[in-house]
Amino acid sequence: MIKAVFLDFEGVITNEGRICHSVIFPSLKKYFSLDELHARYEKGKFGLINEEDFFGGIPKEKRYSFLKSVKYSPSAEESIKELKKLAKMFIASNQVKCIFEKETEKLGVLKLTDGVFMSAYMQKAKPNKDFFEEMLAKTGFSSKECIFVDDAKRNLIPAKELGFNVVWMNRKTEDKRNEFDFKADYEINELSELVPIIKKLNNSNK
């Protein structure tokens, strides 16, 4: 029986899979080198620097211009509402705190979910196993009762090793995070495809 669904945020719920690398970094490279931006992201991802340290040196009016690119992926909003009828819904994301909070505020997605597991809050990140172990410990579900969906195969591997049902969101784009010889339990192109998968799994366990 599937009791909990954990969704990666960018690339599963949103249309853009890597907002920092694809949108934010290119827009800010005139202020800092790519290496500096990457360094800030790595610290921010683990909650080690605050908003001012992350964006320091960048005019305030330029910091969140990327938000115009943040949209739900096709069928995502309605699919989450349907999925919530079937199981508890959680976000499982790697991101800088200030960026994540601006994105989720724009979409209003948090009201559709039961909780958030985000690297900057937890000070641990996918694909480390302790990220997934904390999700289980905090929610009280067994891994067999959980589905984890991500657009990066790299993040699915440790979840599968822990016993999660894993679903790869295939965005059909080049991504080094998918250069692994790994086959997920299920492969989807849109979040709406997850609804019948969960219904089938739950019916088979009755």
Instruction: Give me the CATH number covering residue 92.
Output: 3.40.50.1000
Q: Which DSSP category does 74 fall into?
A: T
Question: What is the total count of domains within the chain?
Answer: 2
What is the per-residue pLDDT for 35? 86
Q: Residues of the chain whose pLDDT is less than 50?
A: none
Whether residues 13 and 23 fall in one domain: no
Whether residues 54 and 112 fall in one domain: no
What residue type is 130 in one-letter code? D
Whether residues 192 and 150 fall in one domain: yes
Tokens of 157: 């591997």
What is the per-residue pLDDT for 21? 75
Whether residues 76 and 157 fall in one domain: yes
Distance CA 176, CA 136 (A): 27
Q: Classify residue 170 by burial, with Cβ atoms within 10 Å: 0-12, 13-18, 19+.
A: middle
What is the per-residue pLDDT for 205? 66
What is the per-residue pLDDT for 77? 96
First CA to last CA across the chain, in angstroms? 8
Range of the domain at 196: 4-17+71-204
pLDDT (tens digit, 9 = 90+) per residue, 6-48?
999 999 999 877 777 777 777 777 788 888 888 988 999 999 9
What is the per-residue pLDDT for 206? 59
Whether residues 106 and 200 fall in one domain: yes
